[in-house]
Structure 1
């Protein structure tokens, strides 16, 4: 397995660098052939690396970056006033070819702005998109994009999201012809605004996308489509709504189970019998959204991720870097542009 070099923004996220270093320590047991650049304030990171026995580890290089992008920083302000932040330095390693991927749990808007500015989009790509995996009822994963990189999109941008998402599903899920759909307020062709309708027409006409039509929000987890496309405004609200509903269900379930010892016993019995299903549905397994369409692999970890979840983001970065996902997207976009001419 060829060596993959990963640059980790160790200062980002709600829980600070402790969970990042803990995740790194866990991943080093599985990643004996990869190298990790840990980027951030050395005064904070050195004790943590020493605590986990990583201070002089041959696979770990600590790179000092004095500035930190905070979760409440405005993207434009972070871009202009913090050129030496851990986020910027990590992205610079990627732009110079010294790293193969970047992972950050920091400010999403700042990461998107800095990545767009420092890496640029692939030739022919109009806008990058934030894409995440969702578990589906078929036992696999579906990909939803955009999740907030672009609050509004024209039809051509949505079309390109479908193309890029299709490539990602082929590479990441080994799907020869991923089913692509547009998220809409109904499945009928007459439903939706002109932007969505025109995007549907473009996807229907393309030979590079296995377009299936419209899907509604209740089909996000059905497996009806491998790739579900929408603008960032809709996608972000859809994803956050799902997260909120999941939290409500879990809290209600916990409350009910704690009300009687018999319920607690039954839950433990049921959990053992359905362990595989429980594991597949854990959010930790799906942490790590891809900012695709850029000239490099950039993975956004959830800001509140724990060490296990951040480890999933690291693994996602390795998979995409090994598969050379940006290069695969570049080739497909070039084919689409030739198709248009």
Structure 2
């Protein structure tokens, strides 16, 4: 397995990214290689500081960087030798099994759409987020930001994508799908929510349990939480805020620890012809280590191939 990592992505890159890669190495087998994408001299210098002389990290030179605030489409076209651009090239050419970055989210999304492209039949890929539950498990929520405006048919596909992903990565059959709404009754909510509810209720490919409210978000009621990217992004970031609030007040427990974004490492883009992971911009070395663990999980689960099989047999 070859895991391509954008060394220049994130607020604390490249140092935090390389240190995260080094933290991840003990959990990798000998045939699992990290392709560190970025300026060769910079990467080598940091590896030398840590006295690394192994062969499991291979440097892929990229002499340009897409900054966090740059326009995604323009930056990708104007900086073909950026670490993100080169990373997607490796993925498209089959030289990497997965590509991950804590860099510009928009550029990662645009790169996915124009490089490996969307699986045929998928209207729009989604970014999946992990939501800790009070029973110690987690739910998958999508979308969490890629699609602020959605049609009912898109949300129906998110339910299918999330179900396939959850089952492939956890082994749990027939995951429960819940639709975020302002009430449990099916006639509640916006026009979008009501129309989506009707589609999900009629879809035999998913285990739809109905609407779930904000009070159910962490309560273990659903394995797959479906919503538009606007709502999903707000809810996910609200959930992430719990960790820092509780930490500042000196309170912690297992649930609070599970709200720490570092534990999950990143979020997969689901519905594209390849494996792409987007990590938090403020990723620490620990978060990068866990991002690489998520990369392994996504590749080993063959979720991309399974989604293709479901969509093609629709």
Normalised TM-score (structure 2): 0.95
Q: 1:294 offset after TM fit, Å?
A: 0.6
Deviation at 1:128, TM superposition (A): 0.7
* Corresponding residue for residue 50 of structure 2: 52
Deviation, structure 1 residue 82: 1.5
Deviation by residue 1:279-332 (Cα, 9 ceiling, x = unmatched): 545432122101110111101111101111111111001111011111011111
Q: Which residue is equivalent to 1:188?
A: 185
**1:264 counterpart residue number:** none
Aligned 8 A contact 1:131 1:146 in 2: yes
Deviation at 1:52, TM superposition (A): 2.6
Matched with 2:294 is: 316
Verify: 1:330 aligned to 2:311, yes or no.
no
Unaligned runs of 5+ in 2: none
The question of 1:231 aligning with 2:212 is answered no
Preserved contact between residue 103 and residue 281 of structure 2 (Cα < 8 Å): yes
- 1:61 Cα deviation after fit: 1.1
Normalized per residue, the structure richer in helix is 1
SS in 1 for 2:76: helix
Supply the distance in 2 between the matched residues of 1:174 and 1:135 (Cα, whole angstroms).
18
Identify the residue that residue 101 of structure 1 maps to in structure 2: 98
Alignment of 1:273-292 (within 5 A): 280-292=258-270
* 1:305 corresponds to 2:283: yes
What is the distance in 1 between the residues matched to 2:256 and 2:243?
A: 13
Q: Distance in 1 between matches of 2:312 and 2:208?
A: 19
Give, in whole Å, the separation in 2 of the partners of 1:183 and 1:138: 20
For the residues of structure 1 that align with 2:22 and 2:118, how far apart are their CA atoms? 32
Asked if the contact 1:120/1:294 (under 8 Å) is kept, the reply is: yes
Q: How far did residue 206 of structure 1 move?
A: 1.4
Distance 2:172 2:180 in 1: 20
Residue number in structure 2 paired with 1:259: none
* Paired residue secondary structure (2:269): strand
Query: What CA distance in whole angstroms lies between the structure 2 residues aligned with 1:98 and 1:295?
Result: 14
Q: Which residue of 2 aligns with 1:148?
A: 145
Consecutive aligned runs of 4 or more in structure 1 exceeding 6 Å deviation: none
Counterparts of 1:239 and 1:301, CA distance in 2: 14
1:88 aligned to which of 79, 85, 90: 85
1:130 aligns with 2:108: no
- Separation in structure 1 between the aligned mates of residue 215 and residue 256 of structure 2, nearest angstrom: 21
Query: Contact conserved, 1:94 with 1:296, CA < 8 A, in 2?
Result: yes
CA distance in 2, matches of 1:282, 1:127: 28
Give the Å deviation of 1:248.
2.6
Aligned partners of 1:282, 1:19: CA distance in 2, in Å?
A: 17
In the TM superposition, what is the alpha-carbon distance from 1:245 to its structure 2 partner? Answer: 4.1
Give, in angstroms, the shift of residue 138 of structure 1. Answer: 2.0
- Indicate conservation of the 8 Å contact 1:124/1:334, yes or no: yes
* TM-score relative to the length of structure 1: 0.88
For residue 313 of structure 2, give the secondary structure of its aligned residue in structure 1: helix
Q: CA RMSD in A?
A: 1.6
Could you tell me which runs of 5 or more consecutive residues in structure 1 were left unpaired when the two chains were aligned: 255-266, 337-341
| d(CA) in 1 for partners of 2:261, 2:5 | 21
Q: What is the match of residue 8 of structure 1?
A: 5
Q: Encode CA deviations 1:258-298: one digit per residue, 9 max, x unaligned.
A: xxxxxxxxx7xxx7xx6x66654543212210111011110
Aligned-pair CA distance for 1:242: 2.0
1:249 aligns to 2:246 (yes or no):
yes
What's 1:179 paired with? 176
